[in-house]
Structure 1
Amino acid sequence: MAYIAVTALSHVGLVRDHNEDSLVVGPWTLCGTTTRSPQTLLFPLGRPLVVAVADGLGGQPAGEVASELVVRELALLGPSLDGALAIEDALDRCNRAVHSATEGRPDLTAMGTTVAGTLVMADSLLSFNVGDSKVYQAAADGLRQVSVDDSPPPEPGHRTTSVVTQTLGGSRAQHVLTPHVRTLPLAPGDRYLVCSDGLTDPVPDEAIEDLLRVHDDGKAAFELWKAAIEAGGPDNITLALVRIGG
């Protein structure tokens, strides 16, 4: 029987005083908490399954509130999603939910979050993102990013940038979203990595590719977290490995 295995963890890192990342895997959400041990969940292939990471904006209030709103909304909408247009509508609904939550709440003004994830269906996988959280495909021929960063190119001499040009919420006025959605064929044995920039900023893609190539899901998730920690753990670290098995 074909199945989907999702191995995930979320950790505060070594610098932040709280975790503003949130995670959704089907009906299961993990919001603002820390776990060092990867957890694996199994689902039958066929029903739509959303796996997504939302990274609350640092430097603005209540990033953890915004990210939790988004993953809980996706958990509710996930079973009804059936393609790219449905994902775009769902992300628009998430954006409106974040803005609506700030009404009459000065402490939540301009809160926002990124989001990146996959929608696994019976015969295809859709990646989606708003912001700079990422989705990678780890196939036999190597690692490739399938999400599109909403950020300008890094300055010369820098590998990353902290500037994000599109988010859910993140401003006083509601704005029109242009989410990035991509449809990919299902390939049994391929893995997809969904993660916040707390992993990808300190850990280069080459190191991520090496760890995914030599380790199975649980060990790979742990070693990715460990690599981010050994690089200073400057931000919250949340990741999910999605694998199609049979």
Structure 2
Amino acid sequence: MPYVAVSALSHPGLLRDRNEDSLVVGPWTLCATVTENPQTLAFPLGTPLVVAVADGLGGHPGGEVASALVVRQLAAVGPALSDEDAVRSALSTCNRAVYEAAGGDEGGELATMGTTVAGAVVQPDALLVFNVGDSRVFAASPDGLRQVSVDDSGPLEPGQRTTSLVTQCLGGSPTYRAVRPHVTSVPLSPGDRYLICTDGLTDPVPTDVLDKVMREHDDGRAAFELWKAAIEAGGPDNITLAVVRIGDDE
């Protein structure tokens, strides 16, 4: 019987006082937590299963509040995410919920809280990949790691590999701004693997290193080694990631 295996962890890194990242795998969420050992979950392939990370905006109060709100909302509606329009609608609802939770008070403590989000809805024969912001989704194939999500970030300066500036996120401003989520459908078959992660992994660790880890290790070990690579690179930010694999017992 086909199934979905997800190995995930979330960690504050070495320099941050707290973890503002959150994670959702089906009905299961991790918010503002510390896990150094990957948690592995398995689900039957059938009902839409949402797997996503949310990265609370650094430098804005309430990043962990915004990211937790979004993953809990996605956990609640995940089984109903049947097509691209449903995913776009859910993300727009999440965006509005962040603004409503901020209270619309321009001087309030949470007035500019916001978060990125990136993930996938696993269906029997397709994967609905989505993101708002610069958290990422990669497909791991024999040809190498390929980014499937679309970064909402400004142009890089010469010699710069990453930027912390995002051009779109959920919440993040004193007044309401609509979002245009990136959503795409890709075919799915047994053996396919995906990596979903916040920029606490991709900023310090080059893509070729991510690819090498995914090639050399199975799911849980890959998740641990990815986290370890980010820590060894200085762990400058919160690190949250999920390795998703489509399996078949037959």
Q: Which residue of 2 aligns with 1:4?
A: 4
Q: Give 5+ residue unaligned stretches, structure 1.
A: none
Equivalent residue, structure 1, for 2:112:
110
Q: 1:121 aligns with which of 95, 120, 123?
A: 123
Question: Please, what is the CA RMSD of the aligned residues?
Answer: 0.8
Q: Which amino acid aligns with 2:82?
A: D
Q: Distance in 2 between matches of 1:241 and 1:83?
A: 22
Q: CA deviation at 1:187?
A: 2.3
Mean CA deviation greater in 18-27 or 171-180: 171-180
Shift of 1:208: 0.1
Out of 133, 136, 141, the residue aligned to residue 134 of structure 1 is: 136
SS at match of 2:109: helix
- 1:198 paired with 2:181, answer no
Q: What does residue 17 of structure 2 align with?
A: 17
Aligned identity (percent) is: 68
The equivalent residue for 1:69 is 69
Deviations 1:192-217 (A, max 9, x none): 10000000000000000000001001
Q: 1:153 deviation in Å?
A: 2.3
Name the CA distance, whole Å, in 1 between partners of 2:191 and 2:80.
26
1:104, CA displacement in angstroms?
Answer: 6.1
Q: Secondary structure at the match of 1:9?
A: strand
Q: In structure 2, what is the Cα distance between the partners aligned to 1:32 and 1:55?
A: 10
* In structure 2, C-alpha distance between the alignment counterparts of 1:190 and 1:196, rounded to whole Å: 21
**Separation in 2, partners of 1:93, 1:158:** 34
Distance 2:23 2:17 in 1: 18
Is this contact kept in 1: 2:129–2:185, CA < 8 A?
Answer: yes
Partner of 2:247: 245
Q: Which amino acid aligns with 2:101?
A: A
After superposition, give the CA deviation of every residue in 1:167-195 in whole Å (9 maximum; x if it has no partner).
00000111121110010000211111000
Aligned pair count reads 246
CA distance in 1, matches of 2:131, 2:79: 18
The match for 1:164 is: 166
Find the aligned partners of 1:130 and 1:107 in 2 and give their Cα distance: 23
SS in 2 for 1:30: strand
Could you tell me which runs of 5 or more consecutive residues in structure 2 were left unpaired when the two chains were aligned: none
| CA displacement, residues 35-73 of structure 1 (integer Å, 9 cap, x when unaligned) | 000010000001100000000000111100000000000
Provide the C-alpha distance between the structure 2 equivalents of 1:152 and 1:96, rounded to a whole number of angstroms.
24
* Alpha-carbon distance between aligned partners in 2 of 1:122 and 1:191, rounded to the nearest angstrom: 14
Deviations, residues 126-152 of structure 1 (Å, cap 9, x unaligned): 100000000000012211000000001
Structure 2 counterparts to residues 139-218 of structure 1, below 5 A: 139-218=141-220
> What amino acid maps onto 2:183 in structure 1?
V
Offset of 1:13 from its aligned partner? 0.2
